[in-house]
Structure 1
Amino acid sequence: MRQVPGVSLQRKLLLWLLLPHLVLWLFGGVLAWRLALQNGEKGIDQALTQSVRALARQIKPIGDGLLVDFPKAAQDILEQDPADRITYMVSSPPGRFLLGNTQLPQPPAMDVAVGETFLYHAQVDGKPVRVALLDVDYGTPQSRQRLRVQVAQSLTVRERIARELLAQLLIPMGLIGLALGALVYAGVARGLQPLKRLQAQIDQAGALSQGGTSAPLPPIELTSAPQEVQSLASTINRLLDTVARGQQKEKRFLNDAAHQLRTPLAGLIGQTELALHESHEPAVQARLQKVLAAAQRSAHLVHQLLQLARSESNVDLQSINLAALAREVAREWAARALAQGMDLGYEGNDQLEVLGQPLLLREALNNLIDNALHYAGRGATVTVRVSTTPGRWAVLAVEDDGPGVPAAHLAEMFARFWRGSDKAGGCGLGLSIVEGIALLHGGQTVAEPVTPHGLRVGLRIPLR
């Protein structure tokens, strides 16, 4: 089942730490706006209360009439700012216009206490205003009358004050938010550094494992890490130790089993060959031939298993001439190639120095040539090649013009016990041994088709 990569831990932490901070910052901005509006309205209410009482004091009853001592200069001051105009209206009885602005609306339908300022919201010319209202009584006891004084101010000033307060609050809040976000990001990044070091050590261990070494992987060491990461590292170390012990047991079993099988198989092959020479009955010889073939296949398998165990061990690399080694191995196989009706030759560099293990590289080339002679078919041409690539690699390959392998199966060729055909004689470990030897030398295997038909299989190792 294909695994879909999830969101990184760092992003999750930043999301859960910064998202509440952003929400609180927005909530604080809204709250600051409302508080600024309320404070602005309180200032307007205080100014309107003072204005309406001062205006009421300028209207003095005389008998059954009124004396309005409201200078023209004071009226001009109240109405001089069109954007933030303060308007007034005097009516008696309440609602019957006497003086001022006839457009001031009356308060909601409710009882207004005499002598107490009443504040309410209204609209004048489609714009919101705040109105202060004060009712006073005048006249004689036999003929009491009520006078209503109203003073209104536009809420533009309130909104302007609110915007100024909000700007004064939000700018420091924004700077604090940015600083807090940077601190959170730095803290999360620093807190996750032990996990990154753990990942680096695991990647290094994986690189060592892919490099073909069979030595126990070094334990993961995190000296300055949180307790949770230390626990994770300890668990991984226990797992690595268990895997290493399992690998060592598997290799010991494989090595011991192969060694124990070599002697009886050699004896079986020898006794079968003797029986073939001594027996003259065709039926008996046919059965002995089958026994001999089976014993030889088993011996070949045991040999391959030993080589596989050897290829997964640590080796000491030394300077060798890869071209000379390849020519020598090709000469050793020439007689068998001729017996099978094939042409085996060498092409490539005359000398190429690399760091390698001669026995292992010889075994790898033996497997490559054996594989080509086994599957290329009679009349094929097999060529051992040693060359270099621009990427500073030395290439040791065996090429044939046989039927080849379908492109879809090239990636599977180096898997253990994989075989390209059902032809008798192979056990499916030769190319796997080649891959193990390539990894031990810090290299890699190569398998590619040849035009018009055929196959090139080999290994690449770093140049010296």
Structure 2
Amino acid sequence: MRQVPGVSLQRKLLLWLLLPQLVLWLSGGFLAWRIALQNGEKGIDQTLTQSVRALARQIKPVGDGLLVDFPKAAQDILEQDPADRITYMVSSPPGRFLLGNAQLPAPPAQPITLGEPLLYHAQVDSRTVRVALLEVDYGSEPARQRLRVQVAQSLTVRERIAQELLEQLLLPMGLMGLVLSALVYAGVLRGLQPLKRLEAQIERAGKRSHNAADPLPPIELTSAPQEVYSLASTINRLLEAVARGQQNEKRFLNDAAHQLRTPLAGLIGQTELALHESHEPQVRERLQKVLSAAQRSAHLVHQLLQLARSESNVPMQPLDLPQLACEVAREWTAKALAAGIDLGYEGEEQLRVLGHPLLLREALNNLIDNALHYAGNGATVTVRVHITAPGTAALAVEDDGPGVPAEHLGDLFARFWRGSDKAGGCGLGLSIVDEIALRHAGQTFAEPIAPHGLRVGISLPTLP
């Protein structure tokens, strides 16, 4: 099942660090708004309390009536701001209008303490106002009466003060939020730098390894947090274990192939000698089968040895690829003529690449052997060296034989895969070619030829 990468660690850290900061910033703005409203209301309450007491002192009993000593100048001051006017109402007994604004509503249903102001909210002309109420007694017994004084002020001032305070707070809070966000972003980037260095080092190590079979060098970090050091140490232990497993596999493959070569050579020699000395048809038929099986086994051993060598560390050197291809093609001329196949070379006269001569010879030997084996009698096999793109050359062998179905082209370079049941192959030749191509920082390719045939080869980087 293909794994889909999730959200990056950097995004997760930024999300979990900046999102709480945004929540705190919004919460701080809301709390600042609420505190500003509360403080504005406290200021209004103090003003109304002083006003209602002062107004109550201006009402004096005279005989059976009341004298309101409220100058016109004071009334004009209270009502000078239409948007935020302070209104009042005097009633005696409570609720019976005497003076002021008759629209002031009655207090809520709750006990009223004589001589203590009562503060409450009310609606006047579709506006919310804050009302201060004070009740006092006047007159003498038994004709003592109660007087109610109400002073109201709209909450416009409170809201305006809160808005101004919030606007003054939002700018420094926004700047602080931006600075903090920048610091968090820079801190996350700096904190993830060791992981970036670790990734870059692993990528450089992979690029230095021309083959997947090469052991990767250990990861070295000069300075990194403890968690990254632990991760690097774990990866190094894993790389060491993989390298040991690869070395053991190569050693076993090499040793097994070497141990098998001598007895197989002896078996082939003894079988050929027995065939030469035997004249009975049945015995010769059985000996011929033994000889064919022994030759296939010897070929398999040889291929396994070449595979082990192709996966080992080898030095590279500049070489002339067309010259190498011509030499290998001439070495196969005799065998091609014996098989009734026309073998030739076409392509560049001179082209330099960086490679290992023995490995490239082995790759071309396998390509030619594969073509001669499957092309069939009367076919034409051509070795080509040509430039496919700037800085890239192709070493290919093409034939006009039956070819390979398009759906199996991708399987040609798989180990032990064979395109037919024809005797003589073991399914490792093209796999070795693929290993050698990877060793030379190149890649293999296989493509059909019209009307029939196959072109198989490797692409290699050229030298300037």
State the TM-score, normalized to the length of structure 1: 0.96
Q: For the residues of structure 2 that align with 1:63 and 1:409, how far apart are their CA atoms?
A: 123
1:376 aligned onto 2:375: yes
The number of residues matched between the two structures is 463
Tell me the alpha carbon deviations over residues 403-440 of structure 1, each in whole angstroms, 9 at most, x when there is no partner: 32233332332221122222221111111111111122
CA contact (8 A) 1:214 1:314 kept: no
Give the aligned partner of residue 396 of structure 1. Answer: 395
Other-structure match for 2:240: 241
Task: Give deviations 1:298-323, integer Å, cap 9, x for gaps.
Answer: 11111111111111122222222111
Asked if structure 2 preserves the Cα contact closer than 8 Å seen for 1:269 and 1:295, the reply is yes
- For 1:259 and 1:55, how far apart are their aligned partners in 2? 119
| Equivalent in the alignment of 2:122 | 122
> Which residue matches 1:294?
293
Match of 1:81 in 2: 81
1:171 aligns to what?
171
1:226 counterpart letter in structure 2: P
Give identity over the alignment, percent.
81
Match of 1:157 in 2: 157
**C-alpha contact (below 8 Å) 2:214/2:311 kept by paired residues:** no
What is the one-letter code of the residue matched to 1:378?
N
Cα pair 1:212 1:440 within 8 Å, conserved: yes
**What is the rounded CA distance, in whole Å, between the counterparts of 2:50 and 2:451 in structure 1?**
106
Q: Which amino acid aligns with 1:61?
A: P
Match of 2:352, as an amino acid?
E
User: What's the counterpart of residue 310 of structure 1?
Assistant: 309
1:143 aligns with 2:140: no
| Residue 21 of structure 1, CA deviation | 2.1
3-state secondary structure, aligned to 1:143: coil
Question: Contact 1:393/1:462 (CA < 8 Å) preserved in 2?
Answer: yes
The equivalent residue for 1:253 is 252
Alpha-carbon distance in structure 1 between the residues aligned to 2:181 and 2:319: 59
Query: CA offset at residue 232 of structure 1?
Result: 1.3
Query: Does structure 2 conserve the Cα–Cα contact (< 8 Å) formed by 1:213 and 1:314?
Result: no
What is the DSSP-based 3-state SS (H/G/I as helix, E as strand, rest coil) of the residue aligned with 1:347? strand
Of 99-108 and 400-409, more deviation after overlay is shown by 400-409
Matched with 1:12 is 12
Give the SS at the match of 1:368: helix
Letter in 2 for 1:9: L
- Give the SS at the match of 2:129: strand
Deviations, residues 368-412 of structure 1 (Å, cap 9, x unaligned): 111112222333322111011223112101112223223333233
Q: Which residue is 2:220 aligned to?
A: 221
Letter in 2 for 1:133: L
Q: 2:396 is aligned with what amino acid?
A: A
Post-superposition shift, 1:213?
Answer: 7.5
| Separation of aligned partners in 2, 1:52 and 1:365 | 110
Change (3 A) 1:432 1:135: same
Match in the other structure for 2:329:
330
Cα drift, residue 462 of structure 1 = 1.1
User: How do residues 435-454 of structure 1 correspond to structure 2 at under 5 angstroms?
Assistant: 435-454=434-453
Aligned mates of 1:378, 1:129 — CA distance in 2: 110
Deviation at 1:338, TM superposition (A): 2.7
Letter in 2 for 1:452: P
2:184 is matched with 184
Which AA in structure 2 matches 1:2?
Answer: R
Counterpart amino acid of residue 238 in structure 1: R
Root-mean-square deviation (CA, aligned residues, Å) is 1.6
Paired with 1:63 and 1:403, the residues of 2 have a C-alpha distance of 135
Listed as ranges, the gaps of 5+ residues in structure 2 are: none
Q: Which runs of 5+ in 1 are unaligned?
A: none
